[in-house]
Structure 1
Amino acid sequence: MTSNLLNQQIDDILESVLEDATDDVYLINPSREAIEEFVVVATDFDGDLPTVHMLADERTLKEVMDDFIVASNAADLITAGALELRSLEQAPENSLLITDDRVVALVHAGDRVGGLTTDDGEFVEAATDTYAGRWEDATAFNLRTPPISRVRETLAEEIGEGAEEDFTAILGSLETARGDGDGLDEVTISLLVAAKNEALLYDISKWGEDVGIASKATFSRTKTKLEDMGLIDTEKVPIDVGRPRLRLKIGDERLEEADNGQLATVAESILN
């Protein structure tokens, strides 16, 4: 009989299931925490990942994927064929992990999580058939966030390797990237990186639109906000034909003195 997974963190349970899985996995009705932890565990997983069919409440998925850090790493997993997302308007009652040989019910008890497990063949088969059917009837979740690997690669190509290193370092210093008071958003981070590297607004906004982060208009509006608050500054750069373009520069000496690990913290303190 497969042992229950008790007194563990959700990431430990997810990693244990992924390590033992030999075929596709169904992750049914995961909590917000479980979705976030799955993306972290799968991103850091050392080995061949099975394809995980995540069937989740649509509102929960939207809330979680509003965080650029989570969503961009999830997009990488989707590109690699390790994750598929579908949503249901009415989520199942149970939160389950289903593999080819076991069913694990995820049970939260305060700050503790248990994985109640069965490997009964008939039950596993019935659960697989049930949720495979629900999967087929579910709606594909459209994740519009670009994969983080493509963001980094194109940023290095279009703006410079220094900009990519700064972008990665800032993301690494943040717990979330939502822009709702819980962290800077991806557009603000991109503009701060561009200013730190004295890139043109045209270049960073074109890159951002091409890679799928946000429209040029969104970059322009955010630039104006940051400039009005004194975080960034601009200078006109004449070109052969047309209106001068704007070079972005750091506008606050506190940001100039901060290293990449502190840049996000200092910027958030100014914005708040």
Structure 2
Amino acid sequence: MASNLLDDNIEDILRTVLEDTDETLLVVNPSVTAIEELIDVAREVSDLPEIRLLGDESMLKDVMSDFILASNAADLIEEDALTLKLLEDENENSLLISSQRVVALVNVGDTVAGLTTDDADFVDVAYDAYTTTWEEASAFNLRTPPLSRVRSTLSEDIGEGVEDDFTGVLGSLQTARGDGDGLDEVTISLLVAAKNEVLLYDISKWGEDVGIASKATFSRTKTRLEDMGLIDTEKVPIDVGRPRLRLKFGDERLYEANTDQLASVAQNLLN
């Protein structure tokens, strides 16, 4: 069975396979890096095949805890370009399988190589076997809303300026997990709301409606940011009921920061 080295860069391997696959691509037991690169590359390929990803549940949960990656994955899911399912056997090889070829992803240190074969008999056996595995696998439930929906509803419900700031802050981040490596999506939403002096009620209602987090989560995060001096509030009387709270920055350094600097300034203040 003849095989050859497809490439030695995971991004280029994935791009080549996606662009050369006509209908369905099975992605079996990918690494964290492979999933991250797959989502990024898939956003750039114009004519995508149907991507069926079989991954370990705990690994998928960890990867999808990054709002940036998960919301982009959700966009692909909504476009019917991506489906996520759970792989029961953690000892499976990392494979890319189409009806034309099988690519084994081999990690050697920091290098990833794609060993590929287009032997028809072997490809047919592998494709049929993993298609059966796919059909029998349980779905992975991604609860993160699509980024396109987040942005459009934020613009419509809160304001275009807020959406511009939200997109700008996300663009300045590599990850949005809230674990020290980046701000989470609720914190980012509250910060851009404070920058634009939006009511807490409005931003938290939007966040709950679009599926980012509950109003209670927004309220708890607001309290934490307020206790740490990043956010301040002022009461706004309404005709009926308790006054509502307008969000404002609580630190002058946040007022002085450009949108692309806002995340790093806030992260420094949180640390």
Mark yes or no: TM-score above 0.5: yes
Identical residues among aligned pairs (%): 69
Which residue in 2 is equivalent to 1:186?
Answer: 185
Correspondence 1:4 to 2:10: no
Once the two structures are TM-superposed, the CA of residue 92 in structure 1 deviates from its matched residue by 4.1
| Residue identity opposite 2:171 in structure 1 | G
Which residue in 1 is equivalent to 2:26?
Answer: 26
Alpha-carbon distance in structure 2 between the residues aligned to 1:122 and 1:93: 20
Alpha-carbon distance in structure 2 between the residues aligned to 1:44 and 1:260: 25
Alpha-carbon distance in structure 2 between the residues aligned to 1:92 and 1:126: 19
What is the SS of the residue equivalent to 1:225?
helix
Please report the TM-score for the alignment, with normalisation by the length of structure 2: 0.98
Gap regions ≥5 residues in structure 2: none
Give deviations 1:6-49, integer Å, cap 9, x for gaps: 3x22111000001100110000000000001100001122x211
Once the two structures are TM-superposed, the CA of residue 4 in structure 1 deviates from its matched residue by 2.3
Contact 2:150 2:210 in 1 (8 A): yes
Alpha-carbon distance in structure 2 between the residues aligned to 1:141 and 1:86: 5
Alpha-carbon distance in structure 2 between the residues aligned to 1:4 and 1:112: 13
> How many residue pairs align between the two structures?
270
Give deviations 1:91-132, integer Å, cap 9, x for gaps: 242000001100000001111111000000010000011111
Once the two structures are TM-superposed, the CA of residue 2 in structure 1 deviates from its matched residue by 7.0
Give deviations 1:116-163, integer Å, cap 9, x for gaps: 000000100000111111111111000000000000000001110000
Runs of 4+ in 1 over 3 A off after TM superposition: none
Which residue in 2 is equivalent to 1:242?
Answer: 241
Contact 2:104 2:114 in 1 (8 A): yes
Alpha-carbon distance in structure 2 between the residues aligned to 1:89 and 1:95: 14
What is the SS of the residue equivalent to 1:146?
coil
Please report the TM-score for the alignment, with normalisation by the length of structure 1: 0.97
Correspondence 1:15 to 2:43: no
1:51-70 paired onto structure 2 within 5 Å: 51-70=50-69
Once the two structures are TM-superposed, the CA of residue 90 in structure 1 deviates from its matched residue by 2.7
Gap regions ≥5 residues in structure 1: none
Which residue in 1 is equivalent to 2:79?
Answer: 80
Which residue in 1 is equivalent to 2:160?
Answer: 161
Which residue in 1 is equivalent to 2:122?
Answer: 123
Which residue in 1 is equivalent to 2:36?
Answer: 36
Contact 2:28 2:92 in 1 (8 A): no
Correspondence 1:208 to 2:237: no
| Residue identity opposite 1:249 in structure 2 | K
Give deviations 1:204-244, integer Å, cap 9, x for gaps: 00000000000000000000000111101100000000000
What is the SS of the residue equivalent to 2:43?
helix
Alpha-carbon distance in structure 2 between the residues aligned to 1:193 and 1:20: 41
Alpha-carbon distance in structure 2 between the residues aligned to 1:9 and 1:234: 49
Which residue in 2 is equivalent to 1:219?
Answer: 218
Correspondence 1:95 to 2:89: no
Alpha-carbon distance in structure 2 between the residues aligned to 1:60 and 1:187: 23
Which residue in 2 is equivalent to 1:263?
Answer: 262
Once the two structures are TM-superposed, the CA of residue 89 in structure 1 deviates from its matched residue by 3.5
1:126-145 paired onto structure 2 within 5 Å: 126-145=125-144
Cα RMSD (Å): 1.0
| Residue identity opposite 1:9 in structure 2 | N
Once the two structures are TM-superposed, the CA of residue 3 in structure 1 deviates from its matched residue by 4.4
Q: Which moved more, 1:201-210 or 1:129-138?
A: 129-138
